Amino acid sequence: MNEPTHGEVALALPDDVAALAQLPADKGEVHLVHLYPREMSIYGDLGNTRCLAARLRWHGYRPVVHDHHPGAPWPERADLLLGGGGQDSGQARVTEDLERHADRLRELAADGLPMLMICGMYQLFGEAFITVEGQRLPGLGILDVTTRGNATRMIGPVVLDTDFGSVVGYENHSGSTVLGEGQQPFGRVRHGQGNNGSDGYEGARVGNVVASYLHGPILPANPALADGLLEIAARRATGDWVPGEIDDTVATRAHEAQVRRLLGS
């Protein structure tokens, strides 16, 4: 990976994405903020940031990626926020910093900033996480969800019906999440266990905040979801969304094959 250099297009991007710098990027800058990539990015969640940066390049926009670490100043600009999963120790290391920026994050969510929060960050954006031992850890309260730790993990491939079309991914979580009354889920489970293995829901959504347990990472296998988030971010950043033509043949075939394999249709 390239060394992050403030102000460069390829800030904190891998070489394969940075190599796209020769493509035209004259439709404006879109700033992506990855929250806690060291502490909260397991099971391939970093791939979501790489996917969005690459697709912005292909669409003709200039991606600027900010990695936000605990204790660091908040980036001057944010058009889309990403967060991933982590171990309990990782969640503990980001708690103080997350609380420091809690009001800002709530204001950005209420203002319609697009966000994608996966697994551990999904739980921290909820009302509370109650550990197996019964300790109640408060969340940001952006999502009306409550999570309890379980001794049994929910693991395996998932297919969802969502507002972005069918979504495929892989879940791996011990937390069991329950939606509050009136809380919109991210999707309905067609295969897999979802939030808790019993109510048929997966993830949660408030405005443009999308939260899910799906790793994989989720975005490369679901281009419609990736572009749905980018459209919101680009319109906020530049006033318009002018997508380029992207050949998603391979991603589409892989997506469809996974749906057929799991649903038999």
In a domain, 96, yes or no: yes
Q: What is the pLDDT of residue 2?
A: 37
Q: What is the pLDDT of residue 16?
A: 61
Q: What is the pLDDT of residue 87?
A: 80
In a domain, 9, yes or no: no
pLDDT tens, N- to C-terminus, the chain (265 residues): 333 433 333 444 556 666 676 778 889 999 999 999 999 988 889 999 999 999 999 999 999 999 999 999 999 999 999 999 988 788 888 989 999 999 999 999 999 999 999 999 999 999 998 988 888 888 999 999 999 998 889 999 999 999 999 999 999 999 999 999 999 999 999 999 999 999 999 999 999 999 999 998 999 999 999 999 999 999 999 999 999 999 999 999 999 999 999 998 6
| Rounded-to-integer distance, Cα 157 and Cα 12, Å | 30
In a domain, 14, yes or no: no
Domain at 36, CATH number: 3.40.50.880
In a domain, 226, yes or no: yes
Q: What is the pLDDT of residue 15?
A: 60
Query: Taking the model in full, what pTM does it have?
Result: 0.91
Cβ atoms 206, 142 nearer than 8 A? yes
Amino acid (1-letter code) at residue 120: G
List phi, psi (to 5°) of 61.
-105, 165
| Rounded-to-integer distance, Cα 149 and Cα 161, Å | 26
* Binding-site positions for substrate: 153
In a domain, 17, yes or no: no
List phi, psi (to 5°) of 49.
-65, -45
In a domain, 120, yes or no: yes
Q: What is the pLDDT of residue 18?
A: 61
In a domain, 122, yes or no: yes
User: Looking at the annotation, which residues are catalytic?
Assistant: 119, 215
Q: State the residue range of the domain holding 215.
A: 27-263
| Total structural domains within the chain | 1
